Amino acid sequence: MTRKWKRILRLFIIAAAICLGAAPANWAKAQDRATIVPGMKVLFENDCVRVQYHDVAVGEKVPMHSHPAYVVYTLKPFKARITLPDGTQRISEHHAGEAYWNPPITHSVENLGNTDIHNLIVELKPGGKCQ
Protein backbone atom coordinates (compact mmCIF):
# COMPACT_ATOMS: atom_id res chain seq x y z
CA MET A 1 0.00 0.00 0.00
CA THR A 2 1.43 3.41 -0.95
CA ARG A 3 1.96 6.23 1.54
CA LYS A 4 -0.92 8.14 -0.03
CA TRP A 5 -3.39 5.28 0.59
CA LYS A 6 -2.05 4.67 4.09
CA ARG A 7 -2.67 8.35 4.85
CA ILE A 8 -6.21 8.18 3.43
CA LEU A 9 -6.93 5.02 5.40
CA ARG A 10 -5.62 6.63 8.60
CA LEU A 11 -7.87 9.68 8.05
CA PHE A 12 -10.87 7.42 7.50
CA ILE A 13 -10.20 5.54 10.73
CA ILE A 14 -9.89 8.80 12.67
CA ALA A 15 -13.10 10.15 11.12
CA ALA A 16 -14.90 6.92 11.92
CA ALA A 17 -13.76 7.02 15.53
CA ILE A 18 -14.98 10.62 15.87
CA CYS A 19 -18.38 9.73 14.38
CA LEU A 20 -18.78 6.55 16.40
CA GLY A 21 -21.19 8.21 18.77
CA ALA A 22 -23.67 8.41 15.85
CA ALA A 23 -23.57 4.65 15.23
CA PRO A 24 -26.85 2.88 15.98
CA ALA A 25 -27.08 0.05 18.47
CA ASN A 26 -28.24 -2.68 16.07
CA TRP A 27 -26.96 -4.04 12.76
CA ALA A 28 -29.53 -4.54 10.01
CA LYS A 29 -30.75 -8.14 9.70
CA ALA A 30 -29.49 -9.14 6.24
CA GLN A 31 -26.15 -10.86 5.90
CA ASP A 32 -22.83 -9.14 6.34
CA ARG A 33 -21.15 -8.35 3.01
CA ALA A 34 -18.12 -10.37 4.10
CA THR A 35 -20.24 -13.55 4.10
CA ILE A 36 -21.89 -12.70 0.75
CA VAL A 37 -18.78 -11.77 -1.26
CA PRO A 38 -16.02 -14.40 -1.17
CA GLY A 39 -12.59 -12.82 -1.01
CA MET A 40 -13.82 -9.39 0.15
CA LYS A 41 -10.68 -7.51 1.13
CA VAL A 42 -10.66 -6.31 4.73
CA LEU A 43 -7.83 -3.79 5.06
CA PHE A 44 -8.22 -3.10 8.80
CA GLU A 45 -10.53 -4.25 11.56
CA ASN A 46 -10.80 -3.71 15.30
CA ASP A 47 -13.60 -3.35 17.88
CA CYS A 48 -14.55 0.06 16.44
CA VAL A 49 -14.36 -0.13 12.64
CA ARG A 50 -13.91 -2.40 9.67
CA VAL A 51 -12.23 -0.93 6.60
CA GLN A 52 -12.86 -2.83 3.40
CA TYR A 53 -11.97 -2.51 -0.24
CA HIS A 54 -15.20 -2.60 -2.22
CA ASP A 55 -14.90 -3.64 -5.84
CA VAL A 56 -17.72 -4.57 -8.21
CA ALA A 57 -16.98 -5.48 -11.82
CA VAL A 58 -18.94 -3.94 -14.71
CA GLY A 59 -22.37 -5.61 -14.83
CA GLU A 60 -21.80 -7.48 -11.56
CA LYS A 61 -24.41 -7.53 -8.80
CA VAL A 62 -23.64 -7.87 -5.09
CA PRO A 63 -26.54 -9.74 -3.42
CA MET A 64 -28.61 -8.29 -0.57
CA HIS A 65 -26.41 -7.52 2.44
CA SER A 66 -26.22 -5.11 5.38
CA HIS A 67 -23.89 -2.42 6.65
CA PRO A 68 -23.92 -0.54 9.94
CA ALA A 69 -23.40 3.24 9.55
CA TYR A 70 -20.45 3.79 7.22
CA VAL A 71 -18.30 6.22 5.25
CA VAL A 72 -17.37 5.62 1.60
CA TYR A 73 -14.35 7.03 -0.22
CA THR A 74 -14.63 6.61 -3.99
CA LEU A 75 -11.39 5.71 -5.73
CA LYS A 76 -12.96 5.78 -9.23
CA PRO A 77 -16.20 7.29 -10.54
CA PHE A 78 -19.14 4.89 -10.58
CA LYS A 79 -22.81 4.43 -11.36
CA ALA A 80 -24.76 1.73 -9.53
CA ARG A 81 -28.32 0.59 -8.92
CA ILE A 82 -29.12 0.26 -5.23
CA THR A 83 -32.05 -2.04 -4.41
CA LEU A 84 -33.62 -2.13 -0.93
CA PRO A 85 -35.37 -5.18 0.58
CA ASP A 86 -38.80 -3.74 -0.26
CA GLY A 87 -37.84 -3.50 -3.96
CA THR A 88 -37.28 0.26 -3.93
CA GLN A 89 -34.44 1.23 -6.29
CA ARG A 90 -32.28 4.29 -6.77
CA ILE A 91 -29.25 5.17 -8.84
CA SER A 92 -26.06 6.12 -7.00
CA GLU A 93 -23.39 8.07 -8.92
CA HIS A 94 -20.19 9.44 -7.43
CA HIS A 95 -16.94 10.95 -8.67
CA ALA A 96 -13.42 9.84 -7.79
CA GLY A 97 -12.20 11.44 -4.57
CA GLU A 98 -15.63 11.89 -2.99
CA ALA A 99 -16.33 10.83 0.57
CA TYR A 100 -19.88 10.39 1.82
CA TRP A 101 -21.82 9.06 4.80
CA ASN A 102 -24.48 6.34 4.78
CA PRO A 103 -26.72 5.36 7.68
CA PRO A 104 -27.18 1.63 8.33
CA ILE A 105 -28.63 -0.04 5.26
CA THR A 106 -29.62 -3.37 3.77
CA HIS A 107 -29.28 -3.36 -0.02
CA SER A 108 -27.96 -5.00 -3.15
CA VAL A 109 -25.63 -3.17 -5.53
CA GLU A 110 -25.45 -3.54 -9.31
CA ASN A 111 -22.68 -1.85 -11.29
CA LEU A 112 -24.34 0.01 -14.18
CA GLY A 113 -21.21 1.88 -15.26
CA ASN A 114 -18.53 1.29 -17.87
CA THR A 115 -15.75 0.71 -15.32
CA ASP A 116 -15.36 -1.39 -12.20
CA ILE A 117 -16.40 0.16 -8.89
CA HIS A 118 -13.47 0.71 -6.51
CA ASN A 119 -14.26 2.20 -3.08
CA LEU A 120 -12.96 2.16 0.46
CA ILE A 121 -15.69 1.54 3.02
CA VAL A 122 -15.28 2.31 6.72
CA GLU A 123 -18.04 0.64 8.74
CA LEU A 124 -18.64 1.86 12.28
CA LYS A 125 -19.24 -1.11 14.53
CA PRO A 126 -22.20 -0.52 16.83
CA GLY A 127 -21.56 -0.93 20.52
CA GLY A 128 -17.81 -0.56 20.11
CA LYS A 129 -15.78 0.55 23.10
CA CYS A 130 -14.10 3.41 21.26
CA GLN A 131 -13.95 6.96 22.45
- List pLDDT tens digits, range 75-111: 999 999 999 999 999 999 999 999 999 999 999 999 9
Q: Are 110 and 83 in contact (CB under 8 A)?
A: yes
pLDDT of residue 21: 45
Q: Alpha carbon 101 to chain centroid distance? A: 9
Domains, in order of start, for the chain: 3-124 (2.60.120.10)
The closest alpha carbon to 52, from 75, 30, 24, belongs to 75
